[in-house]
Chain A
Amino acid sequence: MPMKVLIVDDEPNILMSLDFLMRKEGYEVFVARNGTEALESIQNHLPDVVLLDIMMPDVDGYEICRFIKSNPETENSKVIFISAKSKESDIKKGYEIGADFYITKPFTNKQIVNKVKELFITS
């Protein structure tokens, strides 16, 4: 069974490229355009990895990460924050909330692909 990846970003174009990359790797991909959709998708699909934007108009990425890590069904899911917030304090906060990795925008495709692979191996 292929690994499940959920991509959460409110920028449709970023969503589009990440979707392409993940499908190409052969994962089963779900996308969410905002926090609410993301929370729904997490409960429905129980993804193995979540690529998570932080700044979104409704529910922010921190809350979603907290939800994932505190829910017994999803606590083993890996969370990678992908955010334009690049201050040291932002990154520190991301890890404190429980993220497995933090990638700042703009990212290189290789960075994302490799990191997701790595997390699958360890999980």
Chain B
Amino acid sequence: MQWGIIIIVSLLYLLLLFGLAYWAEQKAEQKSHFINSPYIYALSLAVYCTAWTYYGSIGRASHTGYDFLLIYLGPTLSMPLWWFMMRKIIRIAKIQNIFSLADLIATRYGKNVTLGAIVSIFTVLGVIPYLALQIKAISETFTLLLDYPKNYARNPVFLDYGFYITLVMAIFTIYFGTRRLDLTRRNEGMVFAIAFESIFKLLAFLVAGTYVVFVVFDGFSDIFQKAFEQKELQKILYFQDSAKNQAWEWFLIGLASLFAVMFLPRQFQMAVVENKSEKHLEKAIWLFPLYLLLINIFVLPVALAGKLKFGDSIDADIYILAFPLQNNNYSLALLTYLGGFAASTSMLIVASLALSLMLTNNLFIPLSIRMGVTQYFKDKQWGKWVLYIRRASIMLVLILAYWYLYTAFDLPLVSIGLVSFVAVSQFAPAVIGGLYWKEATHKGALAGIVLGFAVWFYTLIVPNFVEAGLLSKSIMQEGLFGMSWLRPQSLFGLEFSPVAHSLFWSLFFNITAYVAISAFTSQNSQERNQAELFVDIFKYADSYDEAVIWKGIAHKKNLEELLARFVGENKAKNLLNEFEQKNQGKLYADEAERNAKLVKYAEKILATAIGSTSARILVASVVQEEMLTQEEVLKILKETQELKKLNFELKKADALKNEFISTVTHELKTPITSIRSLSEILYENPDLESTQREHFLKTVISETERMERLINQVLELEKFESGKQKLHLTTQNLNEIVKEAIRIYESIIAEKKIQFSTQLSQEPLWSEVDKDRILQVILNFLSNAVKFAKTKIIVSSYSKQNFIEIAVLDDGKGVPAELKDAIFEKFFQAENQNNRKPKGSGLGLAISKKIIQYHKGSIGVEQEQGMTKFYFRLFRTLSLDLSETSSDNTTILKPTT
């Protein structure tokens, strides 16, 4: 194929990518739902699938069969974990302004600068070869298209295709990844472009796979049938090559990919930093595994097809591209190439951005501060410096990757992806421990990570050096210093594949050091503070500002100067004015509390530009801080939580009170309306007939009484609720009180033509009660029953062991089970039946409940034999003699609930 065509097609593709990203940026400004959709988020996670997936999976499958799937099985199995762990990380990251894994680890362990720097450097070391692999894939496939079946050879830099592609990637990333100083703003354009690349590479791979399986061969069964006839392929398909510890091997590699899908810089960037809503996780949890499934469907068939067709004559990694080239199908070859190109470029873009943020916030900014280059920065210069560093870091990362590819050209790049997986797995203990274990210390984390990396380096990188002839072969065979238990690929005699072996030992030492040293060292106050915040983030989420403990003296002028160096003098002034306005009129315990608020506010603004660790050291440099002890931090934290709870309860009580007042006034309006209207009639019509006049006046009087009753009830309830109500207890026969109540209601019942009966206990029911109050409760029950009964009412009383039950039953429509408790709340009817009018004041049952509670009894409603039964139960006084000793007891009794 002509090189011009390939280059033009590649450039057109990149142009499309720029266009899409630019379009998405514009759309995002308009708050488009499409750009913010969970589908874009889920697709952007598929940046996980790089050229190593696109080409490498087939290569791996052709050598070792099914185990390529582990790289996707790990992430799939990790998905439920996302709902717990990733959600927690996302929440912490949003609240604390965390923009990379290094930020996360440094912040958790007390905003420890050393830890952040070490994590950044190790990540770069671990991931650069992986980036190099992407560039190599682009160059290699380019060469193939140009000159099939000639292989990629080292060109002078300036004639190398990969070099220029790397440059374009740097420009893209700088343009769309460093548009703003404020890191809390998402890079919608870039994310959208990556989502597009995810779809593109999947479609290209599926088309190419379909071509191989259904055009070159006769479908899946054709390939598998032919494969089963070959001895060598049988071995792959039947697991005949299985290693001794196959289960362990698979477990370890699956584990590494499980960590990788969360902690690789590009994955963290997409899953956490670019996340718009925790809810998006719900979709991602099933969409992302689905994507992984789809992109793997053709891997094994194409691998077998390649073996059948080409054998070992060409590199198995390029089978998918070799088929169309072999058959001179150039347009398909171009499409396949572009799919791989998409896979490579998406990783280059996201990883370089993520690494640059990591290096900027955790290495270069702290270094700039320490070296003093920044202290003379004036208006906005600091902010510009940060942007320059970010851009330079992107260039640096990509150039490092290219340099690695160029100098280590002859080093084997096989399974370099897995080497990176093992590298980032070293962060897993510190991150997971940090999220769930409050006692973990920064010394433990540091020791674990450093030791883990040392083991990783010795077991995975040193053998590469040996192979390239940089180190003596004797290390591999006889071990370091001739000690055979120190052989890099079988430490202590363990015989695993290199990757599984390395993961096992690195994690073993990592976790051991992390746990042991954490147990033996103590935390400083800031570390303790963060440990609490991380582990209990959901508890502190809405009071985060109060939960960061700071004590000291700060001058507004110094903070304003500092801010101005980032965002400009005017903006700094505005931001601080905003703070003043927001806090105007707020009461602070003392000046110190106000100081703390201001410091945290300024630090938060700075953190959006340079991450929380760097913001911390910068702010610390302009204020006087007081050292706190661990105990002080914990004490203050506890106090803020208690205060928050108290505040919440106060607010709730306030809302209830307001609602009560509005209901009471509402209830008063009905009688007032009648009174007013009727009085106006009486006033304006002096010549009314005397009977009508009398009737109107009577109504006015009865409506006035109604108001009076309501007001009395409100006051009564208030007295009960505030505990001021007194009971006058005497020993009474409750049967007598029931009879008295019935006498009062007799005429009304007769009028209503309701069938009425009593089932009263034969023996007297003695109990110590306030007679008038209990009468009130029974009357309340009766009045409700009369209102709702259709045909009959029964009043019953009986005693059982030591309690007495009095009940009124009616055959009305009854109370739905779910409202059984609510019906005893004040104004229950009014608030729950919104537009339906309550019968009665709505306070009767509430007062009855209070009365019974004051008697230490119980009150309730239930359905019984098709009737609604309102009842209360009181303690029975067994004999009169016993009760007399306490009959003069008229003290205040508190309700039991």
A and B part of one assembly: yes
Docked CA distance A53–B673 (Å)? 12
B837 in complex: contacting residue of A20, A24, A55, A109, CB < 8 Å: A55
B837: nearest residue on chain A (CB-CB)?
A55
Q: Binary interface profile of A, 48-74, with partner B (CB < 8 Å = 1, else 0)? A: 000001111110111000000000000
CB distance from B298 to the nearest CB of A (A): 59
A108 at the interface (CB under 8 A from B): yes
14 residue pairs of the A-B complex, CB under 8 angstroms, read: A10-B837, A11-B670, A11-B673, A13-B703, A14-B673, A16-B678, A17-B681, A21-B677, A24-B685, A57-B839, A105-B669, A105-B672, A107-B673, A109-B681
Contact A106 B835 (CB under 8 A): no
B674 in complex: contacting residue of A11, A53, A58, A60, CB < 8 Å: A11
- Residues facing A in B827-863 (CB within 8 A) are 835-837, 839
Docked CA distance A58–B835 (Å)? 9
Tell me the B residues contacting A by CB distance below 8 Å. Answer: 666, 669-670, 672-674, 676-678, 680-681, 684-685, 696, 699, 703, 835-837, 839
B677 in complex: contacting residue of A17, A61, A84, CB < 8 Å: A17
B835 in complex: contacting residue of A17, A24, A60, A105, CB < 8 Å: A60
Q: Size range of the interface on A?
A: 20 to 34
CB distance from B227 to the nearest CB of A (A): 71
Q: Which residues of A contact B678 (CB under 8 A)?
A: 13, 16-17
Q: Binary interface profile of A, 19-58, with partner B (CB < 8 Å = 1, else 0)? A: 0110010000000000000000000000000000111111
Contact B677 A106 (CB under 8 A): yes
A21 in complex: contacting residue of B670, B673, B681, CB < 8 Å: B681
Q: Which residues of A contact B672 (CB under 8 A)?
A: 105-106
Docked CA distance A107–B677 (Å)? 7
A80 at the interface (CB under 8 A from B): no
Q: Which residues of A contact B835 (CB under 8 A)?
A: 54-56, 60-62
B836 in complex: contacting residue of A20, A60, A84, A107, CB < 8 Å: A60
Docked CA distance A18–B677 (Å)? 8
Main secondary structure of the interface of A (DSSP, over half): loop
A13: nearest residue on chain B (CB-CB)?
B674
B677: nearest residue on chain A (CB-CB)?
A17
B670 in complex: contacting residue of A20, A56, A58, A84, CB < 8 Å: A84
B685: nearest residue on chain A (CB-CB)?
A24
Contact B676 A106 (CB under 8 A): yes
CB distance from B687 to the nearest CB of A (A): 12
Contact B676 A108 (CB under 8 A): yes
Docked CA distance A79–B618 (Å)? 69
Q: Which residues of B contact A16 (CB under 8 A)?
A: 674, 678, 696, 699
Q: Binary interface profile of A, 74-94, with partner B (CB < 8 Å = 1, else 0)? A: 000000000011000000000
Docked CA distance A55–B672 (Å)? 16
Contact A20 B681 (CB under 8 A): yes
Q: Which residues of A contact B837 (CB under 8 A)?
A: 10, 53, 55-57
Docked CA distance A54–B833 (Å)? 12
Docked CA distance A21–B677 (Å)? 9
Q: Binary interface profile of A, 105-119, with partner B (CB < 8 Å = 1, else 0)? A: 111110000000000
Query: A11, A53, A56, A62: which has the most chain B beta carbons within 10 Å?
Result: A11
Docked CA distance A24–B669 (Å)? 25
Query: B681, B685, B696, B835: which has the most chain A beta carbons within 10 Å?
Result: B835
CB distance from A92 to the nearest CB of B (A): 15
Contact B699 A13 (CB under 8 A): yes
A17: nearest residue on chain B (CB-CB)?
B677
CB distance from B144 to the nearest CB of A (A): 69
Contact A108 B680 (CB under 8 A): yes
Contact B836 A57 (CB under 8 A): yes
Q: Which residues of B contact A105 (CB under 8 A)?
A: 669-670, 672-673
Contact A106 B699 (CB under 8 A): no
With A14-B670, A55-B837 already in contact, 9 other A-B pairs whose C-beta atoms are closer than 8 Å? A13-B674, A13-B678, A13-B699, A54-B835, A56-B836, A84-B673, A106-B672, A107-B677, A109-B681
